[in-house]
Amino acid sequence: MELLDGQLVSRKIKDTLRLQVAQLTTEGKKVPHLAAVLVGNNGASETYVGAKVKACAEIGYKSTLIRLEDTISENKLLNIIEDLNNDVDVDGILVQLPVPKHISDEKIINAIHPSKDVDGFHPINIGKLVQGQPTFISATPHGVLLMLEHYKIDTKGKHAVVVGRSNIVGRPMSILLSSNTNTGNCTVTICHSHTRNLKELCLQADIIVAALGRAEFVTADMVKEGAIIIDVGITRVPDASKKSGFALKGDVKFDEVAPRCSYITPVPGGVGPMTIAALMKNTFMACEERNGKVLFD
Ligand code: GUN
C-alpha cells in the first residue's frame, strides 16, 4: 500500500506556481489576485478559507478576504460579487460554501463571472467540462486528477465507483474519470443515497472515490484487494482527547481499509491540500487569460 501524499504533491505544485509568479513579476506583469468571500463563522469554512488565503501568500498571489455577517441579504451578497466581477484587478472569485440558508447557492454560483469562476462551479464551466472543452475544473476533482497524474496511476479501462453525486465533487468527478484523457477513460459508476447494492458495486471497483460526507462510511468489506482509494470526506467528529475538541475523519475507515488497497489518500493530508493546489492553478490560469494568453476559448 502506498500513501497518496497530498501535502507533498500540493507543495510541488505550489513551488512551480511560485516560480511562475516570480517570472510574471520579472516581466512586469500583474500577479494573480484571488478574492475569497466568507459568509458567517462556520468553523470548518473559516479553516478552509484561511488555508486558501495562506496558500496565496506562500505563492506570491494577491488575495482579498471579504468576511460578511451571516445575516447579510442575498441581494447585498450579489452586489458584492458584481463589484468583484467588475474589478479589473481581481482574477478569481470564490464564495465559500455552504452559504446561510436564506441565500441561494445557485444564484451565488451563477452570479460569478465564468472567467473568474476559479472553483469551476458555474454552469457554463460545468457545461464545458462535460463536453471536454478546456475550462476551470472544479477544485476538488481537479486536485484528485493532479494527484493521480503525479503518482502516474493508470486509470484507463478501470472501473471507478464514485460515491456521492454533489455538484462540487461527485458529479464532475464522475465526468472527468470517464473523459477521454490521461487521467480518465474509466468505466464509471456513480452511487448515491438511493443506490441499492452499494457494497457489491464498491467491491467491483478498481478505484473508489468516496465523497458522501459520512465519517468512516467505506469499510474493509466494501473494498476489493488492490483497489485505489480516494477519500474526499472530511468530517469533524467530537473527540475529547483533542485540544480542538474534534478529530477529522474521512469517508473511509482508514485503518482497516488501508492494508487492502494499492493506494490510499489519508485524511487529513490527502485530497484537502490538493483542492487548494488546484484552486491556485485555476487562479493562475484566470490571471494568464486576463494577461492576454488564450488558454480557454
Ligand atoms: N465548500 C466545500 N468545498 C468547497 C470548494 O471547493 N469551494 C468552495 N467555494 N466552497 C466549498
* pLDDT per 10-residue tile (average), the chain, 297 residues: 98 98 95 98 94 98 98 98 98 98 98 98 97 96 98 98 97 98 97 97 98 97 98 95 94 98 98 98 95 72
What ligand 1 atom has the least distance to the C-alpha of 119? 7
| Residue 37 alpha carbon to ligand 1 centre in Å | 11
Per-residue pLDDT, 293: 78
Q: What single-letter amino acid sits at 211?
A: A
Active-site annotation holder among 5, 91, 117, 119: 119
| Residue 224 alpha carbon to ligand 1 centre in Å | 30
Whether 42 contacts 4, CB under 8 Å: no
Per-residue pLDDT, 297: 57
Separation CA 196–CA 245 (nearest Å): 36
Separation CA 183–CA 155 (nearest Å): 6
Does the active-site annotation cover 251? no
Measuring CA to CA, which residue among 104, 50, 98, 97 is closest to residue 75? 104
| Residue 259 alpha carbon to ligand 1 centre in Å | 30
Residue ranges of domains in the chain, CATH in brackets: 27-114 (3.40.50.10860), 139-272 (3.40.50.720)
Per-residue pLDDT, 156: 98
Q: How many CB atoms lie within 10 A of CB 33?
A: 21
Per-residue pLDDT, 291: 80
Q: Which residues have C-beta atoms less than 6 Å from ligand 1?
A: 94-97, 119, 139-140, 168, 275
Separation CA 160–CA 139 (nearest Å): 19
Per-residue pLDDT, 97: 97
H helices of the chain, where?
6-26, 43-59, 74-86, 105-111, 123-130, 139-150, 170-178, 198-203, 254-257, 271-290
Q: What residue's CA is closest to ligand 1, atom 1?
A: 97
Whether 85 contacts 113, CB under 8 Å: yes
Does the active-site annotation cover 96? yes
